[in-house]
A and B are shown apart, each in its own frame.
Chain A
Amino acid sequence: SQELEQSPQSLIVQEGKNLTINCTSSKTLYGLYWYKQKYGEGLIFLMMLQKGGEEKSHEKITAKLDEKKQQSSLHITASQPSHAGIYLCGAFLSGNTPLVFGKGTRLSVIA
């Protein structure tokens, strides 16, 4: 089974709308990373969260790690076509395991 579940799998929003992507684990998350990937390209680092309750923002993107450290959400405000792509969450599920990833959420922003 997938260790990190992302929802939704895909999302189509109208330009200017807000949206939220979730990343859920059945285990405690030790370090949660959000990346963006455009088709055929590499991963762009967005944010890293470590502490329960932590929240970080970059431009119109905000990410939170819940208090119990088992879920993270990525929120985009006033979406733009430049936000389109695949959003991937990655996490350490213990101190000694490698970074694992969800399957990604494919975001399309239409005018």
Chain B
Amino acid sequence: NAGVMQNPRHLVRRRGQEARLRCSPMKGHSHVYWYRQLPEEGLKFMVYLQKENIIDESGMPKERFSAEFPKEGPSILRIQQVVRGDSAAYFCASSVSRPSNTGELFFGEGSRLTVL
């Protein structure tokens, strides 16, 4: 059973371009979470999705950032018109059920975005 798969592992964009980060959850997992990790900072929650639904986006910046988890295919975190401050590691996690209900939460290897 493959773990949480994220791609690309590394992404370089120029200011103003778009970044798309993909996350395929573990098999059988329908809950996906996105976190951002800035250098020397902890993990900051961004968004929680179930298939076709955004459950909690309280950590998402209001502009330029969006996330989806379609019925088929991976979850996608999209950053439009990237700025240097968007440079960070973006981690995806998945779980079978809502983790607070005793479910374990597994993370991918992360996607490292560098904005030039």
Residues of A bordering B, CB below 8 Å: 2, 30-31, 33, 35, 40-43, 45, 48, 50, 88, 90, 92, 95, 98-104
Question: Scoring B residues 20 to 46 as 1 if CB is less than 8 Å from chain A, else 0, what string do you get?
Answer: 000000000000010100000111110
Majority SS at the chain A contact face: loop
* Count, chain B residues at interface, CB 8 A: 24
Give the complex CA separation of A43 and B105 in angstroms: 10
Further 12 A-B residue pairs, CB within 8 A, beyond A42-B110, A92-B99, A103-B42: A2-B42, A30-B100, A35-B107, A42-B107, A42-B109, A43-B107, A45-B104, A90-B43, A99-B99, A99-B105, A100-B45, A104-B42
Question: Scoring B residues 89 to 109 as 1 if CB is less than 8 Å from chain A, else 0, what string do you get?
Answer: 001010000011010111111
In the complex, chain B residues 40-66 whose Cβ is within 8 Å of any chain A Cβ = 41-45, 48, 56, 58-59
Known pairs A88-B42, A103-B42; A98 contacts B104 (CB<8 A): no
Residues of chain A within 8 A of B56, CB atoms compared = 98
